[in-house]
Amino acid sequence: MKIFIINGGQVFAHSGGFLNQRITEWDQSFFTHENGFELKTTNINHAYDLQEEVEKFVWADIIIYHFPVWWFSVPHGLKEYLDKVLTAGHRAGMYYSDGRKMNNPDRNYGTGGLLHGRKYMVTTSWNAPEAAFTLEDEFFQQKSVDEGVLFGFHRMNAFLALSALPSFHFHDVEKNMTADRLEQFRLDYLQHLSAEIFQTQLHAIEQ
């Protein structure tokens, strides 16, 4: 199985990208050749070639995005990466069109993706505690990360014809981070990978 990891943990202001680099390292310990995986990675802080990035998307069976949420959106370096790479992917294996036909322009928008049969997963990291999304009268009005802040991000992937694996979100990573908490994050994330990727592999074998 071919895995493409995008580390969107941008180095900017007080953020050094530490946690998302650690998560990428956890991926590298999990997605090994011995475990039956081929792995490619991109770090948005490093120079990248647009054609090579398009080829990684087209090559992968599963694309995994890691990024912190800044001001309720993706970091600007990741947004720039996506703007450039997705534009380069037009009629180059990622998507053909927006899916509509001239004779019925109101229907089928978003159905021109070319990455059918591939999956994606997203992890995010937050200063916000998990309870801010679940408790009544708290900030996010009981909307989950995926149905709220990440709604547009998920639609972007659907536009490419990718289907979603369950997300994983790291909460309260600034004020309350400790070595023990980081280790628990690692264990929980690897357990998540084991469950979701195993099911994906099993389904692929059954196909």
| Rounded distance between C-alpha atoms, residue 68 and residue 193, angstroms | 19
Contact 97, 44 (CB under 8 A): no
Place of tokens 């991109």: 42
Contact 71, 35 (CB under 8 A): no
Q: Is 132 exposed, middle or buried (0-12, 13-18, 19+ CB in 10 A)?
A: middle
In this predicted structure, what is the pLDDT of residue 15?
Answer: 83
pLDDT digits (tens), the chain, 207 positions: 999 999 999 998 888 889 999 999 999 999 999 999 999 999 999 999 999 999 999 999 999 999 999 999 999 999 999 999 999 999 999 999 999 999 999 999 999 999 999 999 999 999 999 999 999 999 999 999 999 999 999 999 999 999 999 999 999 998 888 999 999 999 999 999 999 876 776 566 455
Kindly report, residue by residue over 71-89, the tens digit of the pLDDT: 999 999 999 999 999 999 9
Report domain extents, the chain: 2-206
In this predicted structure, what is the pLDDT of residue 200?
Answer: 73
- Which of 70, 9, 73, 84 lies closest to 41, judged by CA? 9
CA distances from 188 to 41, 86, 172 (A): 22, 31, 15
Token pair for 137: 């009268």
Could you name the CATH architecture of 2-206?
3-Layer(aba) Sandwich (3.40)
| Rounded distance between C-alpha atoms, residue 23 and residue 185, angstroms | 9
Global model pTM greater than 0.85: yes
| Rounded distance between C-alpha atoms, residue 101 and residue 32, angstroms | 43
Token pair for 155: 């639609």
- Which of 189, 200, 177 lies closest to 66, judged by CA? 189
| Rounded distance between C-alpha atoms, residue 147 and residue 167, angstroms | 11
Contact 145, 131 (CB under 8 A): no
- Three-state SS for 34? coil
In this predicted structure, what is the pLDDT of residue 197?
Answer: 78
In this predicted structure, what is the pLDDT of residue 76?
Answer: 97
In this predicted structure, what is the pLDDT of residue 205?
Answer: 45
| Rounded distance between C-alpha atoms, residue 159 and residue 178, angstroms | 38
| Rounded distance between C-alpha atoms, residue 26 and residue 169, angstroms | 15
